[in-house]
Amino acid sequence: MKKILNQPAHYVDEMLEGMILAHPDIYAQPSRRVVARAGGAAEGQVGIVSGGGSGHLPVFTGYVGEGFLSACAVGDVFASPSAEQMAEAIRLADRGKGVLCLYGNYGGDVMNFDMACEMVDLENDISTSTVLLTDDVVSAPRSEAAKRRGVGGMVFAFKIAGAAADEGLDLAGVTAAAQKAADNLVSIGMALTPCIIPQHGKPTFELGENEMEMGMGIHGERGIYRSAIKTADEIADEMLDQLVSDQPLEAGARIALLVNSLGATRKRSFISFTAVSGPGSTLSG
């Protein structure tokens, strides 16, 4: 598969440099692999940070800005940022009201964010809280939801937490709003072609020319099954059936539906359906 790159090892840093240069009114890069709001975190508000591996644009850097994230830490493709980078993002987000760490449930991210929260507590006396996104219904059964991966659902959680912070809620209130969103999020993905990590230069798995894989994870984790490519209607019906069976909808429930490419370009075809719902909920705000 053809790609236009300079040095693969420089891919992430050059991507960030381009973003900052293109949108200096939105983004700033105070230190390597850390992106913050251009004007700094909002005064008098709870800060919100996220982070994780690159390769999923616009997550995570694309959601730094007013009403969303205060800052984020960025790792290599499919690799966690360091604990120090996460701690730096937390410091930049803090305005004395505490900081919510809001990110996907991946081992490296969890370990490093836990260390980062301990670091800023000891060194800077910054209060933090954590909400993990666990929306991928294929990655574990409902009875073990805490083991699920976080995928497209984090986009909803970023916005809902950001709105809560803008309304002036304290750290407990912003955390509760984010957790309510997380508890009502479900998603499922499917793949048509493999992805290629720039440093490796070859597909991470193989799919036949006329094959699809239902339920594949964002990094190519194994899905439910492989089959010949189905029609768009068949795929959509099956994905929605999976979501609704996992998170049943009551009469009058409101949902928000996101269909996205999991950061894919034309040559890397992933599709994810994510829904957030809740009876009598105001989450759509």
Together in a domain, 26 and 106: yes
Grouping H, G, I as helix, E, B as strand and the rest as coil, residue 284 is coil
HEC per residue, 70-110: CEEEEEEECCCCCHHHHHHHHHHHCCCCCEEEEEECCHHHH
Percent of the chain scoring above 90 in pLDDT: 66
Rounded to two decimals, what is the model's pTM?
0.88
The one-letter code for the residue type at 184 is: N
Residue 182: phi, psi to the nearest 5?
A: -60, -40
Q: Is residue 166 part of a domain?
A: yes
pLDDT, position 284: 34
- Across 200-228, average pLDDT: 85
Together in a domain, 231 and 146: no
Q: 10, 23, 56, 200: which one is catalytic?
A: 56
**Measured distance CA(39)–CA(21) in Å, rounded:** 15
Q: Is residue 3 part of a domain?
A: no
Together in a domain, 135 and 44: yes
List residues bridging with 187 in a β-sheet: 136, 274
**Measured distance CA(285)–CA(282) in Å, rounded:** 6
How many structural domains are present in the chain?
2
Strand-pair category, 99-104 with 47-54: parallel
Together in a domain, 251 and 221: yes
Together in a domain, 178 and 196: no
Q: For residue 200, indicate whether it is catalytic.
A: no
Q: Is residue 23 part of a domain?
A: yes
Final residue belonging to a domain, choices 184, 214, 248:
184
Together in a domain, 160 and 191: no
Q: For residue 56, indicate whether it is catalytic.
A: yes
Together in a domain, 146 and 41: yes
Q: Residue count of the chain, please give it.
A: 285
- Across 191-211, average pLDDT: 79
What one-character-per-residue DSSP string does 216-249 give? --TT----SEEEE---HHHHHHHHHHHHHHHSPP
What one-character-per-residue DSSP string does 124-164 give? H---EEEEEE--BTTSS-GGGGGGPPP-THHHHHHHHHHHH
Domain of 83 in residue numbering reads as 9-184
The least confident of 133-142, 194-203, 250-259 is 194-203
Which tens digit of pLDDT belongs to each residue from 139-184?
999 999 999 999 888 999 999 999 999 999 999 999 999 999 999 9
Q: Is residue 284 part of a domain?
A: no
Together in a domain, 130 and 233: no
pLDDT confidence band for 192 (50 / 70 / 90): confident
CATH of the domain at 190: 3.30.1180.20
Together in a domain, 144 and 207: no
Together in a domain, 147 and 239: no
> Residue 267 pLDDT more than 80?
no
Together in a domain, 93 and 224: no
Strand-pair category, 211-214 with 225-228: antiparallel
Which tens digit of pLDDT belongs to each residue from 12-37?
999 999 999 999 999 999 999 999 99
The one-letter code for the residue type at 85 is: Q
**What are the angstrom distances between the C-alpha of 179 and each of 52, 112, 129, 284?**
19, 20, 11, 15
What one-character-per-residue DSSP string does 250-264 give? PTT-EEEEEEE-TT-
Q: How many CA atoms lie within 13 A of 107 on its CB side?
A: 0
Q: 10, 23, 200, 219: which one is catalytic?
A: 219
